């Protein structure tokens, strides 16, 4: 029974260390759909997702690997700092991109109100 607990703890800790990659990918897909750059029906076909990410996929993979290394080395504060900074930076980047699309369309937004 003690071995089962260790195995479950190992599986859970591995999943928690790898969760940053799906969060980055889902945020990218959300903003792509929200800014009308990605067709929502294309997301249902999983084989098209790497093409939708483009070069950002490699960037997200590298960030997740850095976070995984920091968590493995027990630098939790540094890992959480990298994750939060990258995630908020990603949201800010896509928000500014969305705002530029709205500005060019002539719809009132933060830039032209």
- For the segment 30-45, the average pLDDT, to the nearest whole number, is 87
* pLDDT at position 4: 85
Mean pLDDT of 94-100: 86
User: Scanning the structure block, which residue is given the tokens 């792509």?
Assistant: 32
Query: What pLDDT does residue 3 have?
Result: 83
**Residue range 5-11: mean pLDDT, rounded:** 83
Q: State CA 43 to chain mean position distance.
A: 15
Residue range 45-70: mean pLDDT, rounded: 90
Return the exposure string of 15-32: e unless at least 16 CB atoms fall within 10 Å of the residue's CB, then b: eebeebbeebbebbbebb
Q: Write down the pLDDT at residue 112.
A: 55
> What are the tokens at 110?
């933060």
- pTM of this prediction exceeds 0.95: no
């Amino acid at each position: 029974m003690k071995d089962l607990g260790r195995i479950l703890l190992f599986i859970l800790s591995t999943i928690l260390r790898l969760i940053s990659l799906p969060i980055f990918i889902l945020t990218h897909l959300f903003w792509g759909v929200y800014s009308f750059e990605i067709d929502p029906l294309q997301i249902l076909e999983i084989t098209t997702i790497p093409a939708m990410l483009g070069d950002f996929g490699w960037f997200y993979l590298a960030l997740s690997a850095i976070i995984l290394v920091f968590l493995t080395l027990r630098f939790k504060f540094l890992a959480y700092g990298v994750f939060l900074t990258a995630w908020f930076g990603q949201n800010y980047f896509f928000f500014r991109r969305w705002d530029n699309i709205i500005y060019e369309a002539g719809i009132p937004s933060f830039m032209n109100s």
